[in-house]
């Protein structure tokens, strides 16, 4: 009988068509949980499904950044429900990072995803290694 490989199974879950399954896998991998068998993973999925479904409206990258921030800064147990509480916070501001660009309206841009959105809207452009508002 082949031994159960939880790491491999979690990596397959990251590619699942259901986003809440991807979120649960991301959570388990980021927190470095270990599972001895398939039944434990099924239990973990069931335990985290509600919170993961609530997070489906967010990009996986934002979920991961929020989770990593919480794991580095809080001294209590972090669950997906905790991520839900903090997901709307600007993690870059909480970390004290400098923004990549500050728009005239005061919006502070910390991530390249938002830069690309604004670039598509033709509100900013990239010239000589620097972003500018149009």
One digit per residue, the tens of pLDDT, for the chain of length 134 reads 568 899 999 999 999 999 999 999 999 999 999 999 999 999 999 999 999 999 999 989 889 989 988 888 878 899 999 999 988 876 666 666 677 778 888 877 776 777 788 888 888 888 887 778 88
Domain containing 128: what range? 98-133
Number of domains making up the chain: 2
Pair (82, 124) in one structural domain: no
pTM of the model as a whole: 0.68
Domain-located, residue 93: no
Pair (14, 55) in one structural domain: yes
Domain-located, residue 10: yes
Q: At what angle are helices 19-30 and 38-54 packed, to 10 degrees? A: 110
Judged by DSSP in three states, 8 sits in helix
The DSSP secondary-structure symbol of 14 reads T
Pair (25, 71) in one structural domain: yes
Domain-located, residue 37: yes
Domain-located, residue 1: no
């Amino acid at each position: 009988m082949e031994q159960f490989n939880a790491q491999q199974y979690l990596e397959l879950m990251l590619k699942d068509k259901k986003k809440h399954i991807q979120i649960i896998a991301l959570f388990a991998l980021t927190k470095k949980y270990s599972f001895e068998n398939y039944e434990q993973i099924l239990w973990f999925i069931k335990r985290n499904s509600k919170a993961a479904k609530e997070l489906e409206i967010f990009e996986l990258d934002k979920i991961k950044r929020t989770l990593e921030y919480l794991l580095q800064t809080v001294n209590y147990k972090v669950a997906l429900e905790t991520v839900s509480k903090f997901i709307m916070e600007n993690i870059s501001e909480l970390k004290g990072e400098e923004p990549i660009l500050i728009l005239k309206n005061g919006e502070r841009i910390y991530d390249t995803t938002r830069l690309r959105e604004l670039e598509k809207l033709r509100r900013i452009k990239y010239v000589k290694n620097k972003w500018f508002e149009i």
